[in-house]
Amino acid sequence: MHAAFTRSALTPLRAAATVRAVTQRRAASSAAAVATGSTKTVSKPTHPDTEPDAATAAAISRYEKYTINTYSRPPVLFTRGSGVHMYDSAGREFMDFSAGIAVNALGHSDPELARVLHEQANQVMHFSNLFYNEHAGRLAELLVTSVRDDPSAPGFNAGKVFFANSGTEANEGALKFARKWGKLVAEKRGRNPEKKYGVVAFTNAFHGRSLGALSATYNPKYQEPFAPLVPGFVTAPFNDVAGLDAFVNEETCAVIVEPVQGEGGVHPASEEFLRTLRKKCDEVGALLIFDEIQCGIGRTGKLWAHQHYPTDCHPDILTMAKPLANGFPIGAIMTTDRVADTIKIGDHGTTFGGSPLACRAALSVFSRIRDASFLSHVRDVGAHLERQLGTHLQERHPSLITEVRGRGLILGLQFARDPTSLVKMARERGLIIITAAGNSVRIMPPLIITKEQADKGVRLLAEAVDEFAATA
């Protein structure tokens, strides 16, 4: 793994003797002997999952009765948010270390965004893509120039944008563009265009739940119920340079990769890996697609995750969504001019993508995130948070937490065992966290979080980890 992205295991805490006995039942106020060899007092939950009141129970029951439930939810009903905090129907305050799964970059209920949405909604929300609107072109220009014209951190040679409504739609469009590209390249090379449709994705990747994006998402739990998937997709080992020759070949039209895997466990791609992908794609005439839906738009401390890498590692297509409008649905596909030139009128479309309301919201959000002082804040607080996680969690539980990794404010804690129950323990102390693949936990707070707020979140998480350690 790239050295800049990881914190290696630290020296265990000193202990007079190794305590092997572990308490057999959770007792919120009892002292627990944990596997690290130190005795810690487990704090009492301050936000227990108690039986909801009648109104909350009725709201939950109504939802379960009338919606197709594809998520496992706790018995908590959140009703509002402010900054880095969420509030439930009982008025309890929770600190958000998930940012709506990396969406709420500017926090909850951002006043400026609320003002912009109100103003635009009173002007117009939707026409259709049969007509121009005043905000889509401005947003496309801002996105392209932010990548292409940043002298401090050069990005890829962006040229054009197509607007969608979500990350999975952006990836579907990118894959569709790549399929057309493959046919055209094959014809130019005198090869059979009907055979150049292969797509290479990677282990632990997540690209979405629609059928094409799901075909690139290597997770049997997600894929098997919907097989057979779209033909032509293969999965290669992530960060395995030596193995690429077995997967990327003349029948490949695209390679899709996350510069920093999110749901896969916060695993950054190595520079050598991305450079080799770029070289292989050039050799066989395939497009390199970077999925920056979770790791892009300021999350790593640079505006775009690929800006952490040299230009010989950069993509032909970049997809984005989550934080682009801070919770208002929008996604986008950004391509080089040579890719854009292959897409003609009628090749793709969308009803809602690029609406005046979505684009006006994204202009407000993106303009603030791209500010140099904002990105400096993300880097500063991210480095501080990573140190705090190492000091107060990993050093305290070195055999339980084996690594702290990531960059900026997308951080991962690697656990030695399944941390699913830790999510509840943290929530019952007023902290929202989410898991990721491979026994890991993602830490992705709003990008506006302060060091003081980060410290409070770490204290709450440390209390939850103490309980988790005591239940081994």
Q: Which two tokens stand for residue 361?
A: 């919201």
Query: Mind listing the pLDDT tens digit for each residue in 274-287?
Result: 999 999 999 999 99
Look at residue 177 in the predicted model and tell me its pLDDT: 98
Q: Is the distance from CB of 333 to CB of 176 less than 8 angstroms?
A: no
User: All domains of the chain, ordered by start, with CATH?
Assistant: 3-108+374-470 (3.90.1150.10), 124-370 (3.40.640.10)
pLDDT, averaged across the chain? 91
Look at residue 335 in the predicted model and tell me its pLDDT: 98
Report residue 152's pLDDT band, with 50, 70 and 90 as the boundaries.
confident
Percentage of the residues of the chain whose pLDDT score is greater than 90 = 88
- CA nearest 437: which of 220, 215, 172? 220
Look at residue 224 in the predicted model and tell me its pLDDT: 94
Look at residue 21 in the predicted model and tell me its pLDDT: 29
Look at residue 51 in the predicted model and tell me its pLDDT: 86
* 27-to-43, 75, 467 alpha-carbon distances in Å: 9, 22, 9
- Asked if residue 188 has pLDDT above 90, the reply is yes
Look at residue 117 in the predicted model and tell me its pLDDT: 98
pLDDT top residue among 46 and 30: 46
> Helix (H, G, I), strand (E, B), or coil: what is residue 232?
coil
Angle (nearest 5°) at CA 65 between 64 and 66: 100
How would you class 463 by CB atoms within 10 Å of its CB: exposed for 0-12, middle for 13-18, buried for 19 or more? buried
Percentage of the residues of the chain whose pLDDT score is greater than 70 = 92
Look at residue 77 in the predicted model and tell me its pLDDT: 97
pTM score: 0.91
Report residue 204's pLDDT band, with 50, 70 and 90 as the boundaries.
very high
Look at residue 40 in the predicted model and tell me its pLDDT: 62
Report residue 308's pLDDT band, with 50, 70 and 90 as the boundaries.
very high
Helices of type H across 224-333: 271-284
What is the mean predicted confidence (pLDDT) over 411-416? 98
How would you class 271 by CB atoms within 10 Å of its CB: exposed for 0-12, middle for 13-18, buried for 19 or more? middle
Q: Which residue has the tokens 């401005």?
A: 138
Provide the strand spans (E) within 105-245: 160-164, 198-202, 233-236
What is the mean predicted confidence (pLDDT) over 367-396? 97
Look at residue 472 in the predicted model and tell me its pLDDT: 74
What is the mean predicted confidence (pLDDT) over 98-116? 98
pLDDT top residue among 413 and 12: 413
Look at residue 149 in the predicted model and tell me its pLDDT: 84
Q: Distance between CA 366 and CA 362 in Å, rounded?
A: 6
